[in-house]
Structure 1
């Protein structure tokens, strides 16, 4: 297998996994914000989503206010955010297109259809009320991709490079979440040493 082919398969899966991870972070932030104890949005949940995805600095440069609308726009539709759902789906599709003859028709259809449908979405139509349904759609499309990958691809080097991309991204996302929020998991008497 050529290194270029292995790289494209790796990144195809990794970007698809990242798109799903970002949508899950936003879903958690959305649910946390609507059930916050104070009854008012203080931005804690949205800040957590930005920190876990590693795009706090980019967000702060572009937006003045930390709220649902701005965080969702940055993490879903922003062309400037390398980890936005939009960029991840586009890059996954580009990587799949470069190895089009090495993947199954079902896998290509899952990736290509997702990108085409996403590109048709007007960001202005994703209101706070519609955000959960849209995030569920992103997750459903990620499941379709995983199903096509797991059920239609031969178990050869290409499959294993695709799986590696998926699991490396999953491990990276898990590490980011733990690094961002690990202090809440500790018992009250443990001392946190950042040195």
Structure 2
């Protein structure tokens, strides 16, 4: 995500926002199809969680490419549940809370599967497992800083590596076997993103 300032105007931009805008018609079609099947937005969130859990399990069993493709297929459900809620007029504070909570569990399952894969199926897995721990910690801090900032009334949608970017990079890395460089990117830039958000909230609180 990018952040720049022009005068007193702070402008936010993110790759995830660009993708949502670009693919909104397709995602909306998927949301309407799921709605016709009788699925509620909360059910879609739970289905997404199950899919992420299955991806983590497949990864832990030693099939990173298959897990990456599963992420590529089911990852868009992160955006579909919100679109379905607005389409059905069922957006609610609890739905937003559930979606955010499910997202944290989903990432945990992925990192757990990745940790298992590295420890069981790779000789240099110990070093990479340490990177997974750093990446998981950074990811949780990215989410926590935004949640805490918004609870205090601040805007905090800034940063280089939001959840969408993390999942996208991880899926690509798993599919093409670029696990080590992807882990380094996530492990480093999640913490940079958390620091960006801390600084962003500091600037807002100082004005």
Alignment TM class, shorter chain as reference: 0.3 to 0.5
State the TM-score, normalizing by the size of structure 1.
0.39
Greater RCO structure (CA 8 Å; 6+ sep): 1
Structure with a larger share of its residues in helix: 2
State the TM-score, normalizing by the size of structure 2.
0.37
